[in-house]
Amino acid sequence: MNTLEILFYALSAFAIVSAVMVLISKNPIHSVLWLILVFFAISGHYILLNAQFLAIVNIIVYAGAIMVLFLFVIMLMNVKKDQEPKKQHLVKFIGVIAGGSFLTLLIALVKQTSQLQGKTVLLKEGTIGLIHPLGKALFSDYVVPFEISSVLFLSAMVGAVIIGKK
C-alpha cells in the first residue's frame, strides 16, 4: 500500500465519518462545522487528483462563503437545540432503510457495469486541473455559459434581497 492509497482511504474515512456526524449531531451549529470538515476532506481529494483550482475554489466558496452564510442564518434565528419531537423513530428508521436500499441498488448497478471494470484514475499527475488550461477552456469554449452564470448571480442577488425585505 503506497502513500497515495493511504491518503485516499484516510480522506475517504474522514469524509464519511464527518458526513455521518452532520446527520446525527443535535446542535445545528455542530452540523455546520462537521460539514465544513467534509468539504475539507473533499478538497483533499481534489488535491490528490491534481485538480488544484477546484480544491482552492471548493475551500473558498463552500467552506468560506456558503457555510459562513449558514452559520449566520443559524445564529440569526437562535435555533439552539433542535425542537424536533421525540416520537419520530419510525420515520427515522424508514428513512435510513430507504437510503440504505438506494445505496445498495446503486452499488449493485455499478458492480455489474462492464465498462468501468479495470479503469483507473490518474492521481497526482496530469495538467488539466491547473489554472492555465482551465482558464483557457473557460474563456474560449465556455465563455457564453460563464456570462450567463453572471446573470444568474445577479438575479439570485436581486431575489434574495426582495425575499428578505418582505
Least distance in angstroms from the C-beta of 92 to another protein: 5
**DSSP code per residue over 26-91:** SSHHHHHHHHHHHHHHHHHHHHHTT-HHHHHHIIIIIIIIIHHHHHHHHHHHT--S----S--HHH
Residue 19 CB neighbours (<10 A): 15
CA angle 131, 134, 135 (to 5 degrees): 80
- State the minimum distance, in angstroms, from the CB of residue 158 to another protein: 10
- Smallest distance, Å, CB 30 to another protein? 11
> Shortest distance, CB of residue 58 to another protein, whole angstroms?
7
